[in-house]
């Protein structure tokens, strides 16, 4: 199986047989492989900010939030209305780090990334996103 090199950003997952898919990525820390769109549907300039990582004692998980720009939030809301059964794929440094269900995403500007395993990967994802978003935001 050939895994694609992907730019950072948010991709649309495709409901295709993996044998027919040209752009596949394996989810970090899992065996699940996703077929993703060829190009990101949103690049990092649609991310306004990545919040500090916090611990949610109720769910006993670490989390951080990605705050979308108003334009980015409007785009995700449109995608959710048109493709409610799909997922988005968050790619950082060429690695699929998280999937985001569009089901129920109808507003707001926040995407929450959770870590139920308290893994070192979560630290890497957070640091990489903060660094990438800061760079991207300075370019705008």
Look up the CATH number of the domain holding residue 39.
Answer: 3.30.1360.200
Rounded CA gap, 127 and 21, in Å? 30
Cα-only R_g, the chain: 15
The H-or-E segment that residue 12 falls in is strand 9-12
Residue 3 belongs to a domain: no
Please tell me the number of Cα atoms within 13 Å of 115 on its side-chain side.
Answer: 20
User: What are 71-124's pLDDT values in tens digits?
Assistant: 999 999 888 888 878 899 999 988 899 898 887 676 688 988 888 766 788 899
Domain count, the chain: 1
Distances (CA, A) of 34 to 30, 44, 120, 131, 137: 11, 20, 22, 25, 28
Any domain includes 26: yes
Instruction: Give how far the C-alpha of residue 54 lies from the chain's centroid of Cα atoms, to the nearest Å.
Output: 18
Range of the domain at 91: 9-139
Residue 88: inside a domain: yes
Q: Can you give the pLDDT at residue 31? A: 87
Residue 93 lies inside a defined structural domain of this protein:
yes
pTM: 0.84
Residue 69 lies in a domain: yes
Contacts 24+ apart (CB under 8 A), 73-77: 73/107, 73/108, 73/109, 75/41, 75/42, 75/46, 76/10, 76/42, 76/102, 76/105, 76/111, 77/105, 77/106, 77/107
Task: Report yes or no on 1 lying in a domain.
Answer: no
Q: Is the per-residue pLDDT at 3 higher than 70? A: no
Q: What is the pLDDT of residues 18-65, one digit of tens each?
A: 889 989 999 988 889 999 999 999 998 999 999 999 998 898 889 999
In a domain, 31, yes or no: yes
């Amino acid at each position: 199986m050939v895994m694609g090199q992907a730019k950072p950003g948010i991709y649309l997952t495709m409901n295709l047989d993996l044998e027919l898919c040209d752009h596949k990525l394996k989810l970090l820390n899992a065996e699940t492989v996703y077929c993703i769109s060829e190009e990101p549907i949103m690049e990092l300039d649609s991310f306004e900010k990545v919040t500090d990582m916090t611990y949610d004692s109720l769910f006993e998980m670490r989390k951080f939030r990605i705050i979308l720009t108003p334009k980015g939030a409007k785009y995700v809301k449109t995608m959710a209305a048109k493709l409610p059964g799909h997922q988005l794929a968050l790619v950082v440094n060429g690695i699929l780090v998280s999937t985001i269900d569009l089901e129920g995403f109808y507003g707001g500007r926040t995407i929450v990334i959770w870590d139920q395993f308290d893994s070192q990967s979560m630290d890497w994802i957070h640091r990489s996103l903060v660094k990438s978003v800061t760079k991207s935001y300075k370019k705008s």
